Amino acid sequence: MSMQIENGRFSSIQQVTGKYLNPKPDSRRVENNQEETFQQVLQRKVDIAEGLKFSKHANMRINNRQITISDEQMKRLQDGANRAGEKGIKESLVLVDSLAFIVNTKQNTVITAMNQNEANENIYTNIDGAVII
């Protein structure tokens, strides 16, 4: 097996080691090579978000709208919810890339989720603040 490493792409030996010698397992696979269920994926995302919960309504919207949230987006969503709470916002719109989430900061719960493309006329109601991450 040969490897080609282009000059300037890695700033440390740890990055090269992580990239070529210790590849991360496919996070969408579980034991026995079975694909994760929607609930398992969602739970993993919730665990990453350190306590950010999703209401039943938000879970349905994410599932019905086939919204996928990367680990990095999940961390940014949590950060946005935390920042909104620090500013005293109770019902916050948190925009992460092309995704829009309504978050109840007191309960640390995502109430609903949508793609901004699907938002009716880009009008969001019943919020008292917004965070764009």
Say how far apart CA 115 and CA 58 lie, in whole Å: 12
Task: Kindly give the pairing relationship between strand 53-54 and strand 91-96.
Answer: unpaired
Instruction: Kindly state whether residue 1 falls inside one of the protein's structural domains.
Output: no
Q: What are phi and psi of 113, to 5 degrees?
A: -145, 145
Instruction: Kindly state whether residue 28 falls inside one of the protein's structural domains.
Output: yes
Instruction: Kindly state whether residue 5 falls inside one of the protein's structural domains.
Output: no
Mean pLDDT taken over the chain? 78
What is the model's pTM?
0.62
Residue ranges making up the domain that contains 44: 13-132
State the total domains in the chain. Answer: 1
Half-sphere exposure of 31 (CA within 13 A, CB side): 0
Q: Mean of the pLDDT values across residues 72-85?
A: 93
CA pseudo-torsion sign 78, 53, 65, 40? positive
Considering the chain, what percentage of its residues have pLDDT values greater than 90? Answer: 50
Q: Mean of the pLDDT values across residues 38-54?
A: 70
> What local confidence, expressed as pLDDT, does residue 18 receive?
55
> What local confidence, expressed as pLDDT, does residue 1 receive?
45
Does the pLDDT value for residue 39 go beyond 90? no
Return the higher-pLDDT residue of 56 and 118: 56
